[in-house]
Amino acid sequence: VYYMAIIMALVPSILLLAVIPWGPSFMVNGKYIEPIIADVNIALLLAFAVGSLSVYGTIFSGWASNSKYAFIGSLRKAAVVIAYEVVLGFSVLGVILLAGTLSTVGIVEAQIQKGVWFIFYQPVAFILYLYCMLAESGRVPFDIQEAEAELVTGYNVEYGGMKFGAFPLAEWYINVIALSAIAVVLFFGGWDGPKILGPLSPYFWFVAKTFALVFFTIWLHWTLPRFQAKDITEIAWKILLPIAILNVIITAVVVYIV
């Protein structure tokens, strides 16, 4: 279990990249190539289902380490993920209602067809998503599971070398890039943008938007102070979740009327 926890933390974060469309389809030798690994109709549902599995790696690492610091850190992480996964799910429902599909490719194409990115229709949903993305990635101000002054780096304190580095690699970097790319798909039109580089323009814009969000996330990481553990979960359940549900209801009514 001690070693399996590393795999359970890394694999879900890597699998998130499978449902991200990095650009439109292109033709090679008469065959259309889709720059996406898993172009399925339920890609968005698959992404959030797989992404939520990474918390098991955190819990197992804290339990198998036989350390009170690691165990407390893993329980804190589990509490944050459970709270913010619910809010994250409701935050993207408005986009799904507007696009009429769970396909990541379909959501991008819906924005291109409408000529408007969904960030302008769903600004509240984007703010909620960004908040949840920070919580899911475990970065400041949500890094209560690693609070150095209290838990000595938290749930991975008993690991060393590359095993120690695997957890921040999955949580801080792969997860942040994957969730930023999904945010670009949901709210910023995916690969949509001016054709400044010819056929390479869609891929340029997708990567540029993604790393702009990654930079913004890292900037917040070095700017904001850490929240208290109880405040993080209370904000999710008492404030963000009601706002997310209200946003879904309003979006559903507007879509039905229009």
> For 15-36, what is the mean pLDDT?
85
Mean pLDDT estimate for the chain:
85
CA distance 174 to 15: 10
Of 57-61, 184-188, 223-227, where does the model show the most confidence?
A: 184-188
Q: Given pLDDT bands bounded at 50, 70 and 90, which one contains residue 120?
A: very high
- pLDDT at position 99: 92
- pLDDT at position 151: 57
Q: Which residues have C-beta within 8 Å of that of residue 98, sequence separation ≥ 6?
A: 110, 118, 121, 122, 251, 255
Cis peptide before 141 (omega within 30 of 0): yes
Least confident of 49-53, 62-66, 156-160: 156-160
pTM of the predicted model over 0.85: yes
For the chain, how long is the longest CA-to-CA vector?
60
The 10s digit of each residue's pLDDT in 194-223 is 888 888 899 999 999 999 999 998 888 778
Q: Given pLDDT bands bounded at 50, 70 and 90, which one contains residue 252?
A: very high
Q: Given pLDDT bands bounded at 50, 70 and 90, which one contains residue 29?
A: confident
CA distance 196 to 178: 25
Domain interval for residue 72: 4-257
Q: What percent of the chain has pLDDT over 90?
A: 36
Residue 93, pLDDT above cutoff 70:
yes
Q: Given pLDDT bands bounded at 50, 70 and 90, which one contains residue 39?
A: confident
Give how many domains the chain has, as a whole number.
1
> For 125-130, what is the mean pLDDT?
94
More confident residue, 114 or 159: 114
The pair of three-digit structure tokens given for residue 214, joined into one six-digit string: 């990654």
Give the residues across from 31 on adjacent strands: 28
